[in-house]
A and B are shown apart, each in its own frame.
Chain A
Amino acid sequence: METVLMDILGAVVTFLVAFVVGMTYGGLSRKITARVQNRKGPPWYQNFIDAFKLGFKKSAIHHGVMHHLGGAFLMVSSVMTLMIVPVLSHNNWFPNLNFQGDLIFLLYIMTFGPLGMALGAGQTGNPNSAIGVTRGLSQMVGFEIPWVLALVALMIQYHTTSITGLMAAQAHSGTWLMFSSPFAFIAAVMAMLGMFRYSPFDIVGAPTELASGPVSENGGKYLFVMMSSGSVFTFAKLTLYVDLFMGGADNLLILLVKTFALYLIPMLYGMTTPRYRTEQAVRWFWGWPSFFGLLAILQAVIF
């Protein structure tokens, strides 16, 4: 019983950390983008203000059951991802269910949320939402290819499909996988550009074009849940990359440094490039990123 309580407490702590870090990163990205564009920008804690304002609002309207539950679907996906990914290497405060699932499971649970969200967005009847969803799913097919190529390369190189197994392999050899499997890392980082949906891959939300796409009919609590899910998911994905390619982290500070360094990649790349059209975005992932993914597999097979 005590272990169950500890697990639940740990899960809450993990969730809160992920929420705070994700929100802060979101705020920092707004600030940095503003500075690059020579604006002053909002303070770094602006996202917290927005989120709490939304969270304490009452929703006056909804568009039906699926719309109502869309946020809950989204949360299942982000929180499950967070629970499966080991946050810190040796720390009891962060429960890790990785021993109950593995990378393939992770890939699939990550798609659970977007599909639920897509159903919610579909029921609102807003055509912009549905267009955003079709774009998002198309883009997912795009970036999953290099991402899976990279993961398969890691799996066959180290004969394990679990994240903890890959972390153990790094601890054992003493080198990070980003150095021992560089091609896989390159492919995965390129796939990450699509995952984070910064420009040029911001085709889902597409401000000024789709009026923020799938979230467009959501306000108040619905938007709050979506925002927090996005923050938690950002943190979970970044941690996953750190675990897979950078040997994980022993304490929170190292984790923050590593994740923020990774987070800068999609953010800064986005500042230099305008938005792609959907088919361009999809094809981009099947070009160089997939080529590097294939190189990674070649490397894993030969060495």
Chain B
Amino acid sequence: MEMIHIIFLIFLGGAVLTYFAGKVSKVLQDIFFLLSVLVPAYLFFANVGIGKEVTLTLGGITLVWGVNHFSWLFSLIVLGLGSMAAIYAIGYMKGKERKGYFYFNFILSIMAMMGILLSLDLVSFFVFWEIMTWSSYLMTVYNGHETQRIGIKYFVFSAIGAYAMLMAIVIVHHVAGSFMIGSMINFYPNMSLSLQIWIPILFLMAFGVKAALMPLHVWAPDAYSNAPMAYTSVFSGALSKMGIYGMVIVLVTMINQIPQGFWFREVIAWLGGITAVLGTLWAIKQDDAKKLLAYSSVAQLGYIIVGIAIGTELGMLAGLFLAVMHALFKGTLFMVTGAVEKQTGTTNFTEVTGLIRKMPWTFFAALFSIIALAGIPPLGGFVGKWMLYEALITSNHYLLVIVIFFSSTAAFLYCYKFLFGFFLGQEEKEWAHVKEAPVVMLVPMIIMSVLMFVLGTFPGLILKPINSGLVDLGYIDTFKHLWNTSIIFNAWGDHVVLQPILYYIIAIFVFFALFLTWKGHKTTRYVTTKDISSSGEVPAEDENLTFSVGFMQPFLRAVAPAMRRQIDKYYTGIADGLESLFEFMRRIYTGNGQTYAVYVIVFVVVVLLFKSVLF
């Protein structure tokens, strides 16, 4: 029995045990749940050596599992974020219905993601991929809202991706004679040109669905916003990264081998860029925090895809660093949304406002993640953004860099909308009773905020495993050439030294904060948000001064032409077309025995009449 087997056994057994423990005691269930996520995480990082392979023979097929540096990096995202979200989920799920269902699927998702990362053969890869899809599907329909529209949409897209992948796996097995990923990669240069093009396309379809690459992204906003927030932080933060993981492998080990690969990568990079822009614009439009973050996830995944698609060393570093950062800040933001939802019962910006003094720690976490998301120094998001821009500029993607820049500047709009909508603005009596979220929910958020801060100055902590992963994939070692513990370089030798910048920022901030506070801090008193002057008038207590409806209207008016078309509508159009086709089919296959009898008679008559012609 190897350690990897034990880990999977704990996941599986834990999921079942947790499900049934709920029948005995709620506390026992929570404990089982935490243990079955945290214990495997600990065992994995403490005991599983990189480069080790274990096998398992099931029904004549040998499944091979193992870790390399690259999958270790993604395991860090999955298990790290998974553990944080698990702790958070204890608080979030308190008092909610169907906890067993939630915990069971949560653990299975984590297990499936680990399975994907550890699989060295395509069979177990596919099986785990399906488990991941199923468990996440069950989570998206957890609420029971609009299961038809949202759940089916997610499932149809996942199924299309999965069948594409299955087809590719079957073809690979046919030509290469093996299910091993390694042998597929080795055999790839010997394939015919059409296969060399089709197999990556089929795989990329599967991965593109999970990574929400346009035009396969339409399921994401609904699915992300409909799942319970404690799970969505994993859904958007880690599960979408499985698509990125697969994409990197396909792009690096296959597409880079053929001369047509250049166009492949350009197309994907541009799709990523367009995804980023459209995701951002639609995020600005949303009035619901869940939807806003869901669209923003789509946009952020666009950046990551751009980074890995351009495929230079700096681009890969940027993409993967952003992937880690995205897991951190989007995970935190979904947790913040969940906390607000739990404390107030709504996530709509037009309903809830002015929570900063009621939920200061949640605000702190939200502020840090927003700064990281916006890419403002000194937090970690800046490092990723910087590397991405420099990678694009030094690899001659001049227009793409403008597209990305537009998208990330426009991201400020929804960043501000998120912070303002929940925490700032008028404090209303309706929300006067709101309390800070429970500690068990706050702790993961604060831990991740601190991590974002640390990574902003010492990105080397994460760039080191990324670099090892890239070396595993055949890239050159970029240590001291593109990054150091707290210095980042571009290909032209320009660099940013992060440590002194942090100290300067802190020094200036502290100086002016003291200047503002120093004199008269005792006599300065707090006044409510109603105690303001507007053009000389003092508003009365009952006057509504909340500004949240049509928040970014002028900007949206400016970009209206870009948002007139919605890809979702095209899909709906196709679906409607198919539906009428099926409707027509149903008229033929009525299910009525007499109709079928008529068909048989007509058939016999036709055969008899045209006997001489036919035979």
Q: Which residues of A contact B (CB under 8 A)?
A: 58-66, 68-69, 71-73, 75-76, 79-80, 83, 97, 99-102, 104-105, 108-109, 111-112, 115, 118-119, 122-128, 130-131, 133-135, 137-138, 140-142, 144-145, 148-149, 152, 155-156, 159-162, 165, 211, 216-217, 221-222, 225, 277-279, 282-283, 297, 301
- Which of B424, B526, B559 is close to A66, meaning CB atoms less than 8 Å apart? B424
* A residues near B509, Cβ cutoff 8 Å: 72-73, 75-76
- Which of A101, A134, A145, A216 is close to B416, meaning CB atoms less than 8 Å apart? A134
Min CB distance A71 to B, Å, is 6
> Given that A122-B419, A144-B409, A277-B554 are known contacts, is A160 also in contact with B529, CB under 8 Å in the complex?
no
Q: Identify the closest chain A residue to B357 (Cβ).
A: A64
Contact B516–A71 (Cβ < 8 Å): yes
- Which of A124, A216, A282 is close to B529, meaning CB atoms less than 8 Å apart? A124
Complex Cα distance, B508 from A159, in Å, reads 32
Contact A80–B555 (Cβ < 8 Å): no
Contact A125–B389 (Cβ < 8 Å): no
Closest 5 CB pairs of A and B: A125-B529, A122-B424, A278-B554, A138-B555, A279-B558
* B residues near A80, Cβ cutoff 8 Å: 501, 504-505, 508
Min CB distance A290 to B, Å, is 9
> Given that A137-B413, A161-B492 are known contacts, is A152 also in contact with B398, CB under 8 Å in the complex?
yes
Contact A76–B508 (Cβ < 8 Å): yes
* B residues near A278, Cβ cutoff 8 Å: 554-555, 557-558
Contact B501–A108 (Cβ < 8 Å): no
Query: Chain A interface secondary structure, helix, strand, loop or mixed?
Result: helix
Contact B524–A100 (Cβ < 8 Å): no
Report B512-528 CB contacts with A as 1/0, cut-off 8 Å: 11011101100111111
Complex Cα distance, B398 from A58, in Å, reads 51
> Given that A76-B508, A211-B535 are known contacts, is A61 also in contact with B526, CB under 8 Å in the complex?
yes
Complex Cα distance, B356 from A135, in Å, reads 23
Contact A69–B356 (Cβ < 8 Å): no
Q: Within 8 Å of chain A (Cβ to Cβ): is B532?
A: yes
Q: Which of A61, A69, A80, A105 has the most CB of B within 10 A?
A: A105
Complex Cα distance, B420 from A283, in Å, reads 25
Within residues 399 to 438 of chain B, which ones have a CB less than 8 A from any CB in chain A?
Answer: 399, 401-402, 405-406, 409-410, 412-413, 415-416, 419-420, 424-427
* B residues near A68, Cβ cutoff 8 Å: 516-517
Contact A66–B356 (Cβ < 8 Å): yes
Within residues 346 to 384 of chain B, which ones have a CB less than 8 A from any CB in chain A?
Answer: 354, 356-357, 360, 367, 371, 374-377, 382
11 A-B residue pairs with CB within 8 Å: A72-B512, A97-B504, A101-B496, A108-B386, A125-B424, A126-B545, A127-B426, A137-B412, A140-B412, A141-B409, A161-B390
Min CB distance B482 to A, Å, is 14
Q: Within 8 Å of chain A (Cβ to Cβ): is B148?
A: no
Contact B427–A125 (Cβ < 8 Å): yes
Contact B501–A301 (Cβ < 8 Å): no
Min CB distance A194 to B, Å, is 12
Q: Identify the closest chain A residue to B386 (Cβ).
A: A104
* A residues near B505, Cβ cutoff 8 Å: 76, 80
Contact A145–B402 (Cβ < 8 Å): yes
* A residues near B495, Cβ cutoff 8 Å: 102
- Which of B396, B497, B558 is close to A282, meaning CB atoms less than 8 Å apart? B558
- Which of B376, B389, B401, B426 is close to A112, meaning CB atoms less than 8 Å apart? B376
Min CB distance A112 to B, Å, is 5
Q: Within 8 Å of chain A (Cβ to Cβ): is B596?
A: no
Q: Within 8 Å of chain A (Cβ to Cβ): is B385?
A: yes
* B residues near A140, Cβ cutoff 8 Å: 409, 412
Q: Within 8 Å of chain A (Cβ to Cβ): is B573?
A: no
A-B contact count (CB 8 A): 225
Q: Within 8 Å of chain A (Cβ to Cβ): is B534?
A: yes
* A residues near B532, Cβ cutoff 8 Å: 63, 124-126, 217
Report B553-585 CB contacts with A as 1/0, cut-off 8 Å: 011011100000000000000000000000000
Contact A141–B497 (Cβ < 8 Å): no
Q: Within 8 Å of chain A (Cβ to Cβ): is B500?
A: yes
Q: Within 8 Å of chain A (Cβ to Cβ): is B219?
A: no
Q: Which of A130, A131, A144, A283 has the most CB of B within 10 A?
A: A130
* A residues near B497, Cβ cutoff 8 Å: 99-101
> Given that A71-B516, A161-B490, A282-B555 are known contacts, is A301 also in contact with B398, CB under 8 Å in the complex?
yes
Complex Cα distance, B418 from A118, in Å, reads 12
Q: Within 8 Å of chain A (Cβ to Cβ): is B551?
A: yes
* A residues near B531, Cβ cutoff 8 Å: 61
Complex Cα distance, B523 from A61, in Å, reads 8
Q: How many residues does chain B have at the interface if contact means C-beta atoms less than 8 Å apart?
A: 77
Complex Cα distance, B501 from A72, in Å, reads 16
- Which of B376, B425, B496, B517 is close to A100, meaning CB atoms less than 8 Å apart? B496
Min CB distance B378 to A, Å, is 9
* A residues near B371, Cβ cutoff 8 Å: 115
* A residues near B492, Cβ cutoff 8 Å: 159-161
* B residues near A160, Cβ cutoff 8 Å: 492, 494
Q: Identify the closest chain A residue to B398 (Cβ).
A: A297
Q: Which of B382, B402, B410, B528 has the most CB of A within 10 A?
A: B402
> Given that A161-B390, A161-B490, A277-B554 are known contacts, is A127 also in contact with B545, CB under 8 Å in the complex?
yes
Q: Identify the closest chain B residue to A68 (Cβ).
A: B516
Contact B516–A69 (Cβ < 8 Å): yes
Q: Which of B377, B424, B534 has the most CB of A within 10 A?
A: B424
Q: Within 8 Å of chain A (Cβ to Cβ): is B45?
A: no
Q: Within 8 Å of chain A (Cβ to Cβ): is B393?
A: yes
Complex Cα distance, B424 from A167, in Å, reads 43
* A residues near B376, Cβ cutoff 8 Å: 108-109, 111-112, 115
Q: Identify the closest chain B residue to A280 (Cβ).
A: B558
Contact A60–B524 (Cβ < 8 Å): yes
Contact A145–B547 (Cβ < 8 Å): no
Q: Identify the closest chain B residue to A293 (Cβ).
A: B402
Q: Which of A134, A144, A301 has the most CB of B within 10 A?
A: A134
* A residues near B545, Cβ cutoff 8 Å: 125-127
Q: Identify the closest chain B residue to A59 (Cβ).
A: B524
Contact A102–B494 (Cβ < 8 Å): yes
Complex Cα distance, B537 from A126, in Å, reads 12
* A residues near B390, Cβ cutoff 8 Å: 104, 161
Contact B398–A156 (Cβ < 8 Å): yes
Contact A115–B416 (Cβ < 8 Å): yes
> Given that A111-B412, A127-B547, A211-B534 are known contacts, is A141 also in contact with B401, CB under 8 Å in the complex?
no
Q: Within 8 Å of chain A (Cβ to Cβ): is B99?
A: no
- Which of A61, A123, A130, A155 is close to B393, meaning CB atoms less than 8 Å apart? A155
* B residues near A79, Cβ cutoff 8 Å: 508
Contact A130–B377 (Cβ < 8 Å): no
Contact A130–B557 (Cβ < 8 Å): no
Complex Cα distance, B398 from A149, in Å, reads 9
Complex Cα distance, B360 from A65, in Å, reads 10
* B residues near A108, Cβ cutoff 8 Å: 375-377, 382, 385-386
* A residues near B389, Cβ cutoff 8 Å: 104
Complex Cα distance, B357 from A144, in Å, reads 34
Q: Identify the closest chain B residue to A208 (Cβ).
A: B535
Min CB distance A161 to B, Å, is 4
Q: Within 8 Å of chain A (Cβ to Cβ): is B27?
A: no
* A residues near B494, Cβ cutoff 8 Å: 102, 160-162, 165
- Which of A71, A102, A115, A131 is close to B412, meaning CB atoms less than 8 Å apart? A115
Q: Within 8 Å of chain A (Cβ to Cβ): is B605?
A: no
